[in-house]
Amino acid sequence: MKNESKIRTVNVTRYVTPLREGGSLPAIAEADDEFLYVLKFRGAGQGVKSLIAELIGGEIARTLGLKIPEIVFAHLDTAFGRTEPDEEIQDLLKASVGLNLGLHYLSGSITYDPAVTKLPSLLASQIVWLDCLLTNVDRTARNTNMLVWNKELWLIDHGAALYFHHSWTNWEEQAKRPFAPIKDHVLLPQASELEAVDAVYKPLLTEERIRAIVGLVPDEWFTGGSPEIPATERREVYVQFLLTRIALSHIFVKEAQYARTTLI
């Protein structure tokens, strides 16, 4: 198991270019450590919920030994972006003052193409298991959210995971469900070792580790959305959702195995 994560905080110094993919309008930006980051903005689309999913999903993947670009907290000052000529981008920057999320920019990486590169069955099974746990709907052939960098596979963009948090009322029921969208996962045809992966991964994701990962989420990211749910209670819901899914992983493993039989 990996050591407990520590998330660095950087200050954004320069907006480089937007990445016009999807509706969230992420961007490449430079920070005061002189590194480039793919910046995910709190003022975009799903707001801080996508940042929460990105942080929790990425650090769980890292705990399991999968390759994830370094995740940082990226602070945006009120003065930042005032000279930005694009009105849409300027509005986004104004709405994102404060703590955002960045992923280290993998310069020169290329998007994983399943038609060009076939992954080993073990790695494919590991990623499918992770996405079943996280209920990540966004790793399809149309949008693989995987990069090849230095001849290694890197996972990116977990903002669409943990979609239970868009509706808090039945999170207990959602935690126990199989993950039907796995049928569209780009790596499902190669994922022939799910039971073996399940046996290795479950012991790594202890309650202590899950609490440590969820504990990385800044308090201020829990203050939006449903004001009737206190931040401490909301944080605990994420912990219990994940612990329930881990304990009942046989349910989503079985669903993934069944979906795979319809493809091969």
Residues 126, 54 share a domain: no
Asked which of 51, 77, 104 is the last residue of a domain, the reply is 104
- Distance from C-alpha of 94 to C-alpha of 84, rounded to nearest angstrom: 11
CA dihedral 188, 194, 197, 198 (to 10 degrees): 120
- pLDDT, residue 226, reads 58
- pLDDT, residue 3, reads 43
Lowest-pLDDT range, 15-29, 136-150, 184-198, 209-223?
15-29
Domain encompassing residue 236 = 110-261
- pLDDT, residue 86, reads 81
Asked if the structure places residue 249 within a domain, the reply is: yes
Asked if the structure places residue 90 within a domain, the reply is: yes
Asked which of 104, 121, 144 is the last residue of a domain, the reply is 104
Better pLDDT: 132 or 90 = 132
Beta carbons within 8 Å of 171's beta carbon, 6+ residues apart: 164, 165, 237, 240, 241
**Res 77 pLDDT > 60:** yes
Asked which of 85, 104, 123 is the last residue of a domain, the reply is 104
Instruction: Give the gyration radius of the chain's Cα atoms.
Output: 18
Q: Could you give the percent of the chain with pLDDT greater than 70? A: 94
- Distance from C-alpha of 201 to C-alpha of 1, rounded to nearest angstrom: 10
- Distance from C-alpha of 76 to C-alpha of 11, rounded to nearest angstrom: 6
Asked if the structure places residue 181 within a domain, the reply is: yes
Asked if the structure places residue 4 within a domain, the reply is: no
Asked if the structure places residue 174 within a domain, the reply is: yes
Residues 55, 151 share a domain: no
Confidence of residue 224 (pLDDT cuts 50, 70, 90): low
Inter-residue contact 55 to 6 (CB < 8 Å): no
Number of domains in the chain: 2
Residues 68, 137 share a domain: no
- Distance from C-alpha of 246 to C-alpha of 203, rounded to nearest angstrom: 9
Inter-residue contact 96 to 25 (CB < 8 Å): no
Residues 125, 55 share a domain: no
- Distance from C-alpha of 251 to C-alpha of 23, rounded to nearest angstrom: 32
Over residues 39-46, mean pLDDT: 90
Q: Which residues pair with 146 in a beta bridge?
A: 155
Residues 66, 145 share a domain: no
- pLDDT, residue 5, reads 64
- pLDDT, residue 228, reads 66
Over residues 176-194, mean pLDDT: 97
Confidence of residue 24 (pLDDT cuts 50, 70, 90): low
Mean pLDDT for all residues in the chain: 92
63: its two tokens:
């705990």
Residues 230, 117 share a domain: yes
Owner of token pair 């399809």 = 140
Asked if the structure places residue 2 within a domain, the reply is: no
* DSSP secondary structure string for all residues of 203-235: HHS-HHHHHHHHTTS-GGGGSSS-TTS-HHHHH
Over residues 161-179, mean pLDDT: 90
Residues 75, 138 share a domain: no
Handedness of CA 130, 131, 132, 133 (dihedral sign): positive
Task: Please give, one letter per residue, the 3-state secondary structure of 133-152.
Answer: HHCCCCCECCCCCEEEECCE
Residues 156, 66 share a domain: no
Over residues 34-61, mean pLDDT: 94
Residues 114, 92 share a domain: no
Owner of token pair 């004001």 = 227
Inter-residue contact 212 to 204 (CB < 8 Å): no
Residues 117, 98 share a domain: no
Asked if the structure places residue 38 within a domain, the reply is: yes
Q: Could you give the percent of the chain with pLDDT greater than 90? A: 77
**pLDDT, tens only, 114-168:** 999 999 999 999 999 999 999 999 999 999 999 999 999 999 999 999 989 887 7
Residues 36, 133 share a domain: no
- pLDDT, residue 225, reads 55
Lowest-pLDDT range, 24-28, 39-43, 195-199?
24-28
- pLDDT, residue 4, reads 53
Over residues 16-38, mean pLDDT: 87
**Res 264 pLDDT > 50:** yes
In the sheet that holds 152-155, the strands lie side by side as 110-111, 146-149, 152-155
Residues 166, 94 share a domain: no
